Structure 1
Amino acid sequence: MINIANAQLWVHDQDEALAFYTKKLDMEVRSDVTVPEMGNFRWLTVGPTNQPDFAIVLMAIPGPPLMDDATTAQVHDLMSKGFAGTVFLTTDDCEATYRDLKSRGVEFTETPEQRPYGIDAGFRDPSGNQFRLTQLNVSFGG
């Protein structure tokens, strides 16, 4: 059997990302390890408290030798446009979760709206990663 353990998001600043994910999205730190032998590489993961077997890796965008300057610039550019990936979150009550996250300082790009699959809203993290917050219709698998 295969399970998904981690998913990775590029972040501009790991400390800023850590504060956003733990203070605004109420996730918990799963690991925060710096490896001096690898040039002080930092392995930083967070996850929802109710999903202990899954974590999001908050990965700093590397430079040379892992990425050349042009590739690093491309990643930054895609992130600034919100096209480096999307995380899909589900909730039992999109409106209530929207109000709660907004009160914590999460800036939404789209307010909750009724869609064919449920109620859906959008926001981005400080690095530009997109999030969809969705309350799925029961008939759609929610």
Structure 2
Amino acid sequence: MTGFAENRHIATVALVVDSYDEAIDWYVERMGFVLLENVDLGGGKRWVTVAPASGRGARLLLAQASDEAQRKSIGNQTGGRVFLFLETDNFARDHAAMVAKGVEFREPPRLEPYGTVAVFADLHGNLWDLIEPKG
């Protein structure tokens, strides 16, 4: 027993963006995500969350940069490493749909021991893996 609840999970990941509306459009139109929340918090801030239509996994909090330090991190939140991993049950279908919507893949799909994968960039250049796990 660790002393922690067994049913904890990561629910939300903050992603610093340049513009709420531009990011909403990109994730909804190009990634096929759904807009879950778009709440005005006053002072130019909003609580904006998007997630894959399946509703599985964590959602993204699109956080508009509010100062120069935050603006500098846009597109490079992990120092150039893959930041997020989008799992699918059909790599070929989703890869084709994303390419058709203008998503920039940085490499061709490849087979790895853990599944089929390809790296793509979001609207600001953050790197993601599209992955269909084996089995």
For residues 7 and 101 of structure 1, the distance between their equivalents in structure 2, rounded to whole angstroms, comes to 22
Secondary structure of the 2:129 match is strand
Structure with bigger helix share is 1
The answer to whether the 8 A contact 1:9-1:129 is kept is: no
For residues 57 and 30 of structure 2, the distance between their equivalents in structure 1, rounded to whole angstroms, comes to 21
Structure 2 residue 112 is matched with structure 1 residue 115:
yes
Q: Which of 21, 26, 39 pairs up with 1:20?
A: 26
Secondary structure of the 2:108 match is strand
Task: State the partner residue of 2:76.
Answer: 78
Structure 2 residue 94 is matched with structure 1 residue 97:
yes
Normalised to the residue count of structure 1, the TM-score between the two structures is: 0.79
Shift of 1:74: 4.0
Task: State the partner residue of 1:61.
Answer: 65
Structure 2 residue 45 is matched with structure 1 residue 41:
yes
Which ranges of structure 2 fall in alignment gaps of 5 or more residues?
1-6
Percent identity over paired residues: 28
Q: Which of 85, 90, 100 pairs up with 1:88?
A: 85
For residues 15 and 71 of structure 2, the distance between their equivalents in structure 1, rounded to whole angstroms, comes to 16
The answer to whether the 8 A contact 1:47-1:55 is kept is: yes
- Structure 1 runs (4+) deviating above 6 angstroms are none
Secondary structure of the 1:16 match is helix
Q: Which of 30, 35, 49 pairs up with 1:29?
A: 35
C-alpha RMSD of the superposition? 2.1
Which amino acid in structure 2 is aligned with residue 60 of structure 1? Answer: Q
Which ranges of structure 1 fall in alignment gaps of 5 or more residues?
64-68
For residues 71 and 28 of structure 2, the distance between their equivalents in structure 1, rounded to whole angstroms, comes to 27
Task: State the partner residue of 2:103.
Answer: 106
Shift of 1:42: 1.3
CA 108–57 in structure 1, closer or farther in 2 if over 3 Å, else same: same
The answer to whether the 8 A contact 1:95-1:112 is kept is: no
Structure 2 residue 126 is matched with structure 1 residue 129:
yes
Task: State the aligned residue count.
Answer: 128
The answer to whether the 8 A contact 1:87-1:132 is kept is: yes
The answer to whether the 8 A contact 2:17-2:74 is kept is: no
